[in-house]
Amino acid sequence: MQLTIEKAKTLKAKPTDESKLGFGNIFTDHMLTVVYSPEEGWHDAKIEPYHAFQMDPAGMVLHYGQTIFEGLKAYRCKDGKIRLFRPEQNFMRMNRSAERLCIPQIDVDFMVDALKKLVELEQDWVPSTPGTSLYIRPTIIASDPHLGVRASNHYIFYIILSPVGAYYATGLDPVPIYVEDNYVRAVRGGTGAAKTAANYAASLLAGEEAKKLGYSQVLWLDGVEKKYVEEVGSMNIFFRFNDEVTTPALVGSILPGITRMSVLQLAQDMGYKTTERRISIEEVFDRYDKGELLEVFGTGTAAVISPVGELKWKDRVIKIGDGTTGELSQKLYDTLTGIQYGELPDNHGWIT
């Protein structure tokens, strides 16, 4: 497939104060689009000026939510290079999401290459203040104008870019998390393992209610028994029980995080015993009572490592650690960001 490039005639003003970037508010000058039709497959790949889509009000994505997305980052490094972290993993996961949502597969190598060209063109938008990066959002939407539930025949793939600061305003400070005991996010056999809009829509009400109680996000339990820990809103969750570093097994209702996969490797490199298994919420509270729950943290592209300082489950509240960032959370944060920003050796070949 050919990639054509049409440059914007006028460029937007770049943010002057990188400490005020926030997350997902500002978009760059260009975007990548590729369209799909049954006759031509994926075709017409273009880097073009950022623009609004014209969409038929009957566009299927608007009604039946047939859409998937990804999230990754480009990092500006002190050696002047811009690095991507495991981008092929994001497009591979996008293909797994596509399969679940009846969306045609994309060519991973083509997309990584096209993304590199897009980021190269937009390199002046990659911020340089420590902790900032260029967030990358690949998306696919179903575009047939049609009412009636079926898979669409036509799709639009696009990538937009957004210079970002920290996802949580609190940075590495521990956050309080509400263990959700009423609503559920996903069930085995459902779409929980796919990065699709419906999972996030399903999570909103619980998130709003938790916020009113002073919690920053919810921790989801399994959708059947509400017994086993699954994941947090936009992060996977890890527990350190003494020297075991553990995270819920990928049972089909959890998003297989790329940060999760990387943190399991890094914790193993550091000499911890890492496990992926079923973890009941009772176990978490029991081990806390026994003094064996040393750290809890979330992992994700946006949040990197996010220590959890408090968990509320039913009428119990536990405070983890001493209110500061735990030793392992800090070590993992330093190692992961060290690799991403090119300051530590890339021993696993994760950098493009």
Residues binding ligand PMP (CB under 6 A)? 71, 231, 234-236, 255, 257-260, 299-301
Q: Which amino acid makes up residue 170?
A: T
Q: Residue 195 or residue 312: which is nearer to ligand PMP going by CB?
A: 195
How many angstroms separate the CA atoms of 255 and 67, rounded?
A: 16
C-alpha triplet 290, 221, 184: angle, nearest 5°: 155
Question: Looking at residue 130, what DSSP letter applies?
Answer: T
CB 101 within 8 A of CB 94: no
Q: Residue 11 or residue 201: which is nearer to ligand PMP going by CB?
A: 201
Q: Which two tokens stand for residue 61?
A: 């994505």
Q: Residue 114 or residue 193: which is nearer to ligand PMP going by CB?
A: 193
CB of 89 to ligand PMP, least distance (A): 8
Q: Residue 94 or residue 293: which is nearer to ligand PMP going by CB?
A: 94
CB of 51 to ligand PMP, least distance (A): 26
CB of 71 to ligand PMP, least distance (A): 5
Q: H helices of the chain, where?
A: 60-64, 87-100, 108-121, 197-212, 258-269, 281-289, 327-340
Decide the pairing of beta strands 293-300 and 304-313.
Answer: antiparallel
Q: Residue 208 or residue 286: which is nearer to ligand PMP going by CB?
A: 208
C-alpha triplet 204, 207, 209: angle, nearest 5°: 110
